[in-house]
Amino acid sequence: MNLPLTSDQLALILVFVAVLLAVNGLGLALASYRAHRHGLRRRLTSLEAEMPSRKELASIRRERSLSEAGDYTLPAIPLNKLILQSGVTVGPVRVLMSMVCLFAAGYLIVFTLQKDHIIAFAAAFAIGVGAPILILMTLRDRRRRRFEEQLPDAIDVLVRSLRAGHSIPVAINTVARQMPDPIGGEFAIAAGELTYGLDLETALVNLRIRVGQADLGLVVLAVSIQAKMGGNLAEILSNLSQVIRARFRLRRKAKALSAEGRFSALALTVLPFALFAVLWVIAPTYYGHVWGQPIVKHVLLACLVWLTIGNIIMHKMVRFSI
């Protein structure tokens, strides 16, 4: 039977996990910042050359974890899509290598301290797989929020360009040159795809997949219907811009009204683990008499299951689809 962790061992594990998460988060943040700088330089260069070259378009796709033809490069499409939508440019191979290294390091450290393969595997999975995916999801959500804020202004640029007599590809290129990242870089890729053979609907669908933002689907649908049925696209997009702005204001209002519920859910989730860790550090023998009992592990597992169910319910209560 394994002895419980001492305060020194627990502190060492916590420091190790904190350092790993900090290094991994810093690496992904630097990759996101580098992607922003590269996109800025690329768009400044495109001011001189109206459209990116075919070689440059292929290079952009490789940076965004796609093949030169624009297809996914990983068999695990959800992970590939997450890397793509997060905006990092380290590539899927480096992300997978980072996950493998974190998994191996976490397993060795925890197994050395605890001598239990199950605990070591669970901790290594959380460190090597869970933490990078959580960081990528955070970067993806942040990028989507920036895109959502920029989308109405980008539609206004499209409308002005169309009313000035320009075609859709020229209007998309205007957005790419005038808008900052992330929307400027994404429209630049769409403009390049239009230049080198893709039809308008496919290029816009690829744009929606690369971003994963819900309101962008309305733009794709409006352009697709106009291309098939005809109509005043500038007027349609102008009305759509107003609708998106109204939805954006409604989302902000709903988020403000649900702030108390979200904070309560976070506090109720973190408090048991924080209290357990504090008691273990300041009074390591507090649970010493009952920790070796077989029923304790079953009780803790049941508590984790109920905590997960409660988190799912609270998440559904404070999350609104608008």
Whether 54 is covered by a domain: the verdict is: yes
Q: Between helices 200-211 and 216-229, what is the axis angle to 10°?
A: 170
Q: Does one domain contain both 282 and 240? A: no
Q: Does one domain contain both 188 and 39? A: yes
Residue burial 231-261, b: 16+ Cβ < 10 Å; e: rest: eebbebbbebbeebbebbeebeeeeeeeeee
Whether 2 is covered by a domain: the verdict is: no
Convert the pLDDT of each residue in 265-299 to its tens digit: 888 888 888 888 888 888 777 777 777 777 887 88
Q: Does one domain contain both 196 and 51? A: yes
Which domain range does residue 91 map to? 7-257
Whether 278 is covered by a domain: the verdict is: yes
The angle formed by the CA atoms of residues 90, 93 and 95, to the nearest 5 degrees, is: 60
Q: How many domains does the chain have?
A: 2
| Alpha-carbon gap, residue 114 to 246, rounded angstroms | 55
| pLDDT-derived band at 7, boundaries 50, 70, 90 | low
* Domain stops at, among 217, 238, 257: 257
Say if residue 43's pLDDT is above 60.
no
Q: Does one domain contain both 54 and 146? A: yes
Whether 140 is covered by a domain: the verdict is: yes
Convert the pLDDT of each residue in 51-83 to its tens digit: 556 777 777 788 787 887 778 888 888 888 998
Whether 1 is covered by a domain: the verdict is: no
Say if residue 313's pLDDT is above 80.
yes
Q: Does one domain contain both 34 and 75? A: yes
Which amino acid, 28? Answer: L
| Alpha-carbon gap, residue 269 to 262, rounded angstroms | 11
The angle formed by the CA atoms of residues 61, 89 and 81, to the nearest 5 degrees, is: 65
Q: Calculate the alpha carbon distances from 249 to 143, 157, 217 in Å.
A: 18, 20, 18
- Other Cβ atoms closer than 10 A to 301: 10
| pLDDT-derived band at 307, boundaries 50, 70, 90 | confident
The SS3 of residue 180 is coil
Scan for tokens 């093949």, then name that residue.
Answer: 67
Q: Does one domain contain both 116 and 233? A: yes
| pLDDT-derived band at 18, boundaries 50, 70, 90 | low
Q: Does one domain contain both 263 and 236? A: no
Report which of 208, 204, 195, 194 is spatially closest to residue 225, judged by C-alpha positions: 204
Report which of 236, 243, 242 is spatially closest to residue 221, judged by C-alpha positions: 236
| pLDDT-derived band at 33, boundaries 50, 70, 90 | low
Q: Does one domain contain both 242 and 269? A: no
User: Distance of alpha carbon 182 from its chain centroid, rounded?
Assistant: 13
Residue 72's beta-bridge partner residues?
Answer: 66
Contact 81, 72 (CB under 8 A): yes
Burial class (CB in 10 A: 0-12, 13-18, 19+), 48: exposed
What's the pTM value of the predicted model, to 2 decimals?
0.71
* Domain stops at, among 237, 257, 277: 257
Q: What is the CA radius of gyration of the chain?
A: 24
Residues of the chain with pLDDT > 70, as a percent, come to 83
When the pLDDT of each residue in the chain is averaged and rounded to a whole number, the result is 80
pLDDT at 19: 66
Q: Does one domain contain both 226 and 285? A: no
Q: Does one domain contain both 269 and 221? A: no
Q: Does one domain contain both 204 and 266? A: no
Convert the pLDDT of each residue in 216-273 to its tens digit: 888 888 888 887 787 788 888 899 889 888 888 888 888 888 888 888 888 888 888 8
Whether 296 is covered by a domain: the verdict is: yes
User: Distance of alpha carbon 305 from its chain centroid, rounded?
Assistant: 26
Q: Does one domain contain both 138 and 277? A: no
* Domain stops at, among 222, 241, 257: 257
